[in-house]
Structure 1
Amino acid sequence: MPLDTILSFAVVAGLLVLSPGPNGVLIAKTVPTSGRLAAVSNIGGFVAAFFLHGTLSVLGISMILVHSADAFFVVKMIGAAYLIWIGMKALRDAFSGKVLAPSSRPARHRRTLARAFGEGFLTNALNPKVSMFYLAAFPQFIPVGDGAMFAAFTLVGIHALINVVWFGAMVMLLARMSKAAGSPSFQRWLKGVTGLVFMAFGLKLASLRP
């Protein structure tokens, strides 16, 4: 695959990663409430979801989501319901004063990482906007003929790498602020804001048109 094609795709994918969305909100919530490892698990979930979408795009299934109104509506509403559910949970914790401190619940550390991975995965796997990105980007950057599948997964890997770098830097930055962010009042405020933002993203996704 030509270098200029890779660089062009990296620019497009980078702009998508840097644009505000549920991924950044999830990382901003996870670091102060559950720790850096949980946030890294979020990023692992992002990457797994990207490869899922890449595989579906290669197989042509994403085309069905875009061209079938019923299929698109089902996936869209499931994704919107999931984001709204996360938002409602965060609001509930904010109003109840529930605080998740990673050092206070070591017995649940492994489960916390698994849950964080699942949150990152589902936030992207159930987002039809990600499918539409892959469906729109791949035809422009994948060469026709032999090596097309290798090229497709190379592009997915580039997208995943950009996410790891960007959100990894965000995790390190937020971790440096962990002392101030560890106060119960800040965590309650953060959960409240996170809840409202996730619910807003869910409502925005519910109104999305293919």
Structure 2
Amino acid sequence: MDAQLLAFIAVAAGMVALPGADFTVVVRNALASRGSGVATAVGVAAGLLVHTALAVAGLSAVLVTMPVLLRTVQLIGGAYVLYLGLSALYAIRRRRAGGERAQDPDEAGYRAPMSPGRSLRQGFLTNALNPKAPVLFLSLLPQFVPDGQPPLPRTVLLASVVVLLALVWFPAVALLVDRLGRWLRRPRTARAIEGGSGAALTALGLVLVGGPLLH
């Protein structure tokens, strides 16, 4: 394995593991159930597959050079992330207003799990609509294509590495959260986590919707 590929794996691993909207959504859904968390994680990896495919096809370059199109993606992605954040905050408020009580006090205060299909779709859209991804892939992948080597096979390899890392990292996060679930689902802890994730997603959505065009 060449040194450039090893360096890329290290950089890509840090990029995938960096907390953001993907991480937040996986944790939220994993707290609801293991199945929801894993399905969301697989959806995130599927979203990355879209970005890597675009990078391989060279379409990321087209997107980046068309500010109107990139801004449209940014607005749609920001609106979706904002929707997820506000939905989480509204769910907490609704449960408090309704005086919701669970039979098991250790499980009280957290929402019911979503269907695998809905969880998968939520993870996919959260990642696929991320407007930073095309810019990131366009700037990152070419740096690890050695001079004199055909760019297409190398780019396919690098893109595959990113997707495989996501398929390892995000399901692992979901399983770890589920493993700690009995403690994390306690009423106060669950409300704090969901409230924090809802606030983080809302803030990120507002930045994407109201912020300048990403470069």
In the alignment, the residues of structure 1 paired with residue 6 and residue 157 of structure 2 have an alpha-carbon distance, to the nearest angstrom, of: 12
Q: What is the match of residue 170 of structure 2?
A: 167
Q: Quote the offset at 1:144 in angstroms.
A: 6.8
1:20 aligned counterpart, secondary structure:
coil
Corresponding residue number in structure 1 for 2:203:
200
Structure 1 residue 145, shift from structure 2 partner: 7.4
Asked whether the 8 Å contact 1:79–1:205 carries over to 2, the reply is: yes
Q: Which amino acid aligns with 2:198?
A: G
Q: Show the counterpart of 2:77.
A: 79
Tell me whether 135-144 or 146-155 shows the greater mean CA deviation: 146-155
Q: Could you say which structure has the higher helix fraction? A: 1
Contact 2:38 2:175 in 1 (8 A): no
- Give the alignment of 1:132-143 within 5 angstroms: 132-143=135-146
TM-score of the two chains, using structure 1 as the length reference = 0.85
Residues 125-164 of structure 1 mapped to structure 2, 5 A cutoff: 125-143=128-146, 148-164=151-167
What is the CA distance between 1:126 and its match in structure 2? 0.7
Which one-letter code corresponds to 1:69 in the other structure?
Answer: P
Change (3 A) 1:186 1:23: same
Which residue does 1:190 correspond to in 2?
193
Q: Could you tell me which residue of structure 2 aligns to residue 100 of structure 1? A: 111
Q: Aligned partners of 1:64, 1:118: CA distance in 2, in Å?
A: 26
CA RMSD in angstroms comes to 2.1
User: What's the CA shift for 1:76?
Assistant: 0.5
1:116 deviation in Å? 0.9
Instruction: Give the Å deviation of 1:178.
Output: 1.1
Q: Over residues 151-207 of structure 1, what are the superposed CA-to-partner deviations in whole Å (9 max), with x where a residue is unaligned?
A: 222212211222232223322321121112333444333322221110111123332
- The answer to whether the Cα contact below 8 Å between 2:56 and 2:159 also exists between their aligned partners in 1 is no
Shift, 1:143, TM fit = 5.0
Separation in 2 of the partners of 1:79 and 1:11? 27
| 2:21 maps to 1:18 | no
1:127 and 1:101 map into 2 onto residues whose CA distance is 26
SS in 2 for 1:209: coil
The runs of 5 or more residues in structure 1 that have no matched partner are 103-108
Q: Which residue is equivalent to 1:106?
A: none
- CA deviation profile, 1:58-96 (whole Å, cap 9, x unmatched): 222211221111111101011000000001111110101
Contact 1:94 1:189 in 2 (8 A): no
Q: Which residue of 2 aligns with 1:209?
A: 214
In 2, are the aligned partners of 1:64 and 1:71 still within 8 Å (CA)? no
Unaligned runs of 5+ in 2: 101-109
Question: What is the identity percentage for the equivalent residue pairs of Structure 1 and Structure 2?
Answer: 31
Alignment of 1:55-70 (within 5 A): 55-70=53-68
* TM-score of the pair, normalised by structure 2: 0.83
Q: Return the letter of the residue paired with 1:20.
A: P
